[in-house]
Amino acid sequence: MRLFRHYDEFSPEFRGSVIALGNFDGVHRGHQAVIGEALRRARLSGVPAAVMTFDPHPRRLFRPDLPPFALTSLRLKARLIEALGVDFLYVQHFDAAFAAKSAETFIEEVLVKGLGVSHVVVGADYAFGKGRGGSVEVMRSHAARFGFDVTAVDLVTGTDAGSSVFSSTVVRKALADGDTARATAILGHPWEIEGRVEHGDARGRTIGFPTANLRLGDYARPATGVYVVQAGIDRGWQTEWVGGVANYGRRPTFDKTDDLLEVHLFDFSGDLYGQHLRVRFLHHLRPEQKFSGLDALKAQILADAAQARIMLARGAENHTA
């Protein structure tokens, strides 16, 4: 998959593409339906299949006061989109100047002159342009003038997701509730974060459970507590997935106040400090709690680890793609 960051530098070989437009935060099953329709139409027409997304998320520009809410970093979003079979990803930098473009200017300047699209695929509720003044009908009216087609994909729901519309908002709510099963059902894959491993207090090492520590940064905050996880370690072009158990929270046993994700990897030895680590949240085992001391904490970690190993061994949630 090729990645472009400015339409002025766009490769001519990708003009005439079918392009899916959206933020695609999480690349959940609703997003996959939109991108899948773009792929289907591109393959039928023998033209490139493309996705256009925005970075940073427009909500971050308009509401900088919002707490962290991202489901995917740009890097992880690109990985998920690439896995769907897309030919190129266009990442539009979203700033005040771009936000000021009218819907008509966006269509003519970016889609037509810049990207030369032949077909645009969006969700039925897609809105764009200054003040979100553009709608599917606005897009269609201009498409007729400029000679490209428009397809709007209806919102989709699923009984395995509690009959909810597949949306990033519902995923964030599920994660905040510790409902990893529901989040996974809506996403179509386990929720995943990535970050750089940093030094901690090294307390876990002293009790036989060394951890790789990550800050969540701009990611949405899941429920605090203990999770069954898989961690992805970069091995050149490959990713090595290792099962483990993780605690996300403020470590009340040690009177900490900052939130931290501490990941203990099973049957692993090696130095991960400074490396990027991917972490998939598979199951929420229990809430975070305060223990009377190190012995009580160690006993509970042993129990958590044993339960996590059993769940990982079942293989049902052992995603290795």
Residue 176 within a domain: no
Residue 172 within a domain: no
Tell me the whole-structure pTM to 2 decimals: 0.89
**Do 124 and 221 fall within a single domain?**
no
What would the pLDDT profile of 130-157 be if each residue is shown by its tens digit?
A: 999 999 999 999 999 999 999 999 987 7
Residue 73 within a domain: yes
**Do 204 and 145 fall within a single domain?**
no
**Do 297 and 220 fall within a single domain?**
yes
Q: Which residue has the higher pLDDT, 200 or 210?
A: 210
Note the pLDDT of residue 321.
36
Residue 262 within a domain: yes
Query: Contact, 263 vs 244, CB < 8 A?
Result: yes
CATH number of the domain encompassing residue 96: 3.40.50.620
Residue 167 within a domain: no
Joined tokens for residue 183: 């989040």
What's the pLDDT band for 237 if we cut at 50, 70, 90?
confident
Residue 104 within a domain: yes
Q: Which residue has the higher pLDDT, 274 or 230?
A: 230
φ, ψ dihedrals at 24, nearest 5°: 55, 40
What would the pLDDT profile of 240-295 be if each residue is shown by its tens digit?
A: 999 999 999 987 666 676 899 999 999 998 888 888 999 999 999 999 988 877 88
**Do 82 and 207 fall within a single domain?**
no
**Do 135 and 14 fall within a single domain?**
yes
Query: Residue 261 is part of which domain span?
Result: 190-314
Report how many domains make up the chain.
Answer: 2
Residue 19 within a domain: yes
**Do 62 and 146 fall within a single domain?**
yes
The residue-averaged pLDDT of 120-126 equals 95
**Do 14 and 140 fall within a single domain?**
yes
**Do 113 and 212 fall within a single domain?**
no
**Do 33 and 78 fall within a single domain?**
yes
Please list the helix, strand and coil fractions of the chain in percent, rounded to the nearest 5, in that order.
35, 25, 35
* Lowest model confidence (mean pLDDT) among 40-54, 95-109, 143-157, 180-194: 143-157
CATH number of the domain encompassing residue 310: 2.40.30.30
Residue 185 within a domain: no
Cis peptide before 68 (omega within 30 of 0): no
Average pLDDT, the chain: 90
The residue-averaged pLDDT of 211-234 equals 95
What's the pLDDT band for 203 if we cut at 50, 70, 90?
low
DSSP assignment of 85-109, as one string?
T-SEEEEEE--HHHHTS-HHHIIII
**Do 113 and 42 fall within a single domain?**
yes
**Do 145 and 224 fall within a single domain?**
no
Burial (CB count within 10 angstroms: exposed 0-12, middle 13-18, buried 19+), residue 279: buried
Q: What percent of the chain has pLDDT over 70?
A: 91
Burial (CB count within 10 angstroms: exposed 0-12, middle 13-18, buried 19+), residue 221: middle
What would the pLDDT profile of 165-201 be if each residue is shown by its tens digit?
A: 799 999 999 999 999 999 999 999 999 999 999 886 6
**Do 201 and 126 fall within a single domain?**
no
Query: Contact, 284 vs 225, CB < 8 A?
Result: yes
